[in-house]
Structure 1
């Protein structure tokens, strides 16, 4: 059975029945999936194989980048198998500005719309014009506009109605030439005379300082989503923790940092089996070299139960956990 240890950044010992790569949209190469138990994988930065997967793992390796310089915008058509950070670097070199806040996010271009990746005040959906995909059941090719993707916070139609049913082949981006720079978030607010280059370099510096390199310590980035709660619950928490940070979402809803909740419960730096809650960023669980899938699930469930018990907030994983038969819910 092919090993998956090097195919996902958490690097747990795991395997699958078969491992294949898709490099083009030839229907012949996809025909076998119609009657096969499979899991679609990009660069494995948001997937953790907690057990041996009894099916076929399909790696999306569709490459390519096309650009079109129009009057007011730059249009990009990018293969789903391209590396995300490499795309952001290429954009900056070509003065195609807008997505600098999303620098150094691990993963592939095809995974970006699925997760609606975001960082430092921006989400990728802001720049997506459309997404192209193949319907695995029929082999039919489709393109849907951004407003049809049902983008939400770390969410999209590709995580719900179309999950496991389609293979994203290309993502089309639109980058306005009159770019507005988002610098209201965190350290970016302190930039003097911000430029896209300054934002890019600052974001990279912050991420390298706060987040562990998966090449040294296996991890899947942020393990949990930042929860969105009602303001009335926030008021209750503020009675004991007046310093709780929050971001207003609407008149009745706020987003609170999951890292703050986890830190307040003393998990930062704690170890369970071969998994550590990162000592600098408690939102990240790390494989310290001997982690098992059981360790990951036990630690994640412990954190979730403690947060629920203390704050009455239900954390939701941002990562995708895959067991023998597919996705696992905590």
Structure 2
């Protein structure tokens, strides 16, 4: 019994408050992970060790369409600290269960700039590398140093660097080869010295122009990013959602020109490799979806990229709405939108 009590095993747990969409689902078995030792105990457990696992962080990037048979690992590893101060960077470490925004706010409070563009992104620190979160001209990969994870088969603790994470646009090795095969426990980030602002994004340039502040510091940029995000995106505590529901599609210059030929107002951004990123929200809005509802699920009035829970939504309704949007965008633009959250 000692092993079990140390391991925080729970049965028949409602996951409704553990996913930001507020979708109803029950975990038959839930294990709280507060450190590497908890993962090792789980791997060695006679019954649960070999069972399929589902790793749950803040639940801000998941759509639950049914009850979960896999063992749900609720990652709650705490801790925030500066681990190294070098001539060219400060390295900070955070437990995977910490709130991502909490980490960003903590670094700013310590007088450390570098993460301010990523303020107010929902979810946990452990989920940030999985998704390679990004916003306002910065991606997690740009500030990543290393992370620790425990292998769910061997129970071994490994530390890996940026190259091994194979970061892509909203992608990483943790969504591919290592999906549900490991638990990230700690993440280390590299905050460059001297600090330099990242202000390429149009919303931030507008804030600079309006405020007359030509030389904003980390705290100022943090405040602007929080304001911009709050204006565009619904607070999950008030209206259930999983943030941006679709990835911004990447197209070739030819595809981009073809769509502009038919829709001159297409919102598009050039990428370093010569391709273009299209604004998925604009494509959805152009198909007339903003504010529409299917059952308890709807498209947010202020930002068509966000699907919301209008009250009592079920996962199946969210996915019915998502598929209808995908079909209409494909019908009009010939582009297949990919959902950003994990659908279970």
Task: Please give the TM-score of this superposition, normalised by the length of structure 1.
Answer: 0.95
Partner of 1:113: 129
Q: Structure 2: how far apart are the matches of 1:152 and 1:131?
A: 17
Match of 1:14 in 2: 25
Q: Which residue in 1 is equivalent to 2:4? A: none
Q: Which residue of 1 aligns with 2:92?
A: 76
Q: Cα–Cα, structure 1 residues 4 and 251, in superposed 2: closer, same or farther, change >3 Å?
A: closer
| Structure 2: unaligned runs, 5 residues or longer | 1-11
* Distance (whole Å) between structure 2 residues aligned to residue 310 and residue 128 of structure 1: 38
Say whether residues 1:3 and 2:25 are aligned partners: no
**Are 2:44 and 1:31 equivalent residues in the alignment?**
yes
> Is 1:187 matched up with 2:187?
no
Q: CA deviation at 1:251?
A: 5.3
Residue deviations 1:197-244, cap 9 Å, x none? Answer: 111001100111111111111100000000001111111111121111
Report the Cα distance in structure 1 between the residues aligned to 2:57 and 2:265, rounded to whole angstroms. Answer: 39
Equivalent residues in 2 for 1:137-176 (5 A)? 137-176=153-192
The Cα shift of 1:287 comes to: 0.3
Alignment of 1:294 onto 2:309: no
SS of aligned partner of 2:223:
helix
State which drifts further: 135-144 or 30-39.
30-39
Matched, 1:198 2:213: no
Inter-partner Cα distance in structure 2 for 1:187 and 1:251 = 24
Query: What is the rounded CA distance, in whole Å, between the counterparts of 2:342 and 2:202 in structure 1?
Result: 27
Gaps of 5+ in 1: 323-330
CA distance in 2, matches of 1:222, 1:30: 34
The DSSP-based 3-state class of the residue aligned with 1:53 is coil
> Does the aligned pair in 1 maintain the 2:132–2:139 contact within 8 Å?
yes
1:62 counterpart = 2:92: no
Question: Which deviates the most, 264-273 or 44-53?
Answer: 44-53
Runs of 4+ off more than 6 Å = none
Q: Does 1:178 align with 2:194?
A: yes
CA contact (8 A) 2:96 2:125 kept: yes
Match of 1:270 in 2: 292
CA distance in structure 1 between the partners assigned to 2:154 and 2:273 by the alignment:
44
User: What secondary structure sits across from 1:291 in the alignment?
Assistant: coil
Q: For the residues of structure 1 that align with 2:100 and 2:51, how far apart are their CA atoms?
A: 29
Give the number of equivalent residue pairs: 322
1:152 deviates by 0.5
Secondary structure of the residue aligned to 2:13 is coil
CA contact (8 A) 2:28 2:71 kept: yes
SS of 1:66's partner is strand
Report the Cα distance in structure 2 between the residues aligned to 1:176 and 1:30, rounded to whole angstroms.
37
User: How much does 1:196 deviate?
Assistant: 1.2
Q: Which residue of 1 aligns with 2:237?
A: 215
- Structure 2 CA distance, aligned partners of 1:251 and 1:171? 29
